[in-house]
Amino acid sequence: MIVGLIIACEVAFWVLLAAGLAFRYVFRMPRLGLALLLCEPLLEVVLFAVTAIDLRHGAEPDWRHGLAAVYIGFTVGLGHSTVKWADARVAHRFAGGPPPVRPPKYGRARAVHEWKVAGRWTLAALVAVALLQAAVWYVGGHGGTGSLRAWQLRMLWVIGINLVIAGSYTLFPKSEPKSEPKSEPNGGPDGGPDGGSEREPAKMR
């Protein structure tokens, strides 16, 4: 049941996102669109409540309960940025909004971007770790918590990998490639066939 509910929550997330953006920009009903987008957190509340009830009724903690905690954590950490990403593109496509800003590719700006991404993933993992720990305390000594601890370890790996990636862009920043010098037309440095100072008018492309 838990896995089925997680799948249902994921499907409902994208359905609410699509419907909210459609009403906001396509049908010009921003209030209804915003109301649909604000329903997104209710999905995590429902999943959290059902998982807690399942454990309360004596279910043995296993990977499914851990997966539910991880799903909630990642929705908290990454859900807002996902909504912003989709909102910018739909606004540009249907409401004349500005083009979506692409992430920087080089130098310090790219490093800052990577740290922001790592921060979101770290927040997601930390929320998941906290929920898993709450489940461990909730179960107490009445059931096995090995699967929950295993999920916590995986979340620590997620944090570590993201910190390593962001740190690599800080320690070894990616440099912008140097543009190749343009060859002079007609052989001469001043544009003339014999190196004179006369230039032909540039052609409009």
Q: What is the pLDDT of residues 68-123, one digit of tens each?
A: 999 999 999 999 999 999 999 999 999 999 999 999 999 999 999 999 999 999 99
Q: Please tell me the pTM assigned to this model.
A: 0.82
Q: Residue 118 contacts by C-beta under 8 Å, 6 or more apart in sequence? A: 162, 163, 165, 166
Q: What is the pLDDT of residues 29-60, one digit of tens each?
A: 999 999 999 999 999 999 999 999 998 887 88
- Answer yes or no: is 198 within a domain: no
- Answer yes or no: is 146 within a domain: yes
Three-class DSSP category at 104: coil
Domain that includes residue 14, residue range: 2-171
Asked if 144 and 60 touch (Cβ cutoff 8 Å), the reply is yes
- Answer yes or no: is 151 within a domain: yes
| Domain total in the chain | 1
- Answer yes or no: is 78 within a domain: yes
**Rounded CA gap, 149 and 63, in Å?**
10
pLDDT for res 182: 53
- Write out the DSSP string of 140-181: GGGS--HHHHHHHHHHHHHHHHHHHHHHHHHHSPPPPPPPPP
Q: Residue 198 contacts by C-beta under 8 Å, 6 or more apart in sequence? A: 190, 191, 192
Q: Residue 149 burial by CB count (10 A; 0-12/13-18/19+): exposed, middle or buried?
A: middle
Residue 124 has pLDDT above 50, yes or no: yes
**Rounded CA gap, 133 and 128, in Å?**
9
- Answer yes or no: is 203 within a domain: no
- Answer yes or no: is 122 within a domain: yes
- Answer yes or no: is 97 within a domain: yes
Q: What is the pLDDT of residues 163-187, one digit of tens each?
A: 999 999 999 998 888 775 555 555 4
> Chain-centre distance of CA 50, in angstroms?
26
Residue 204 has pLDDT above 90, yes or no: no
- Answer yes or no: is 87 within a domain: yes
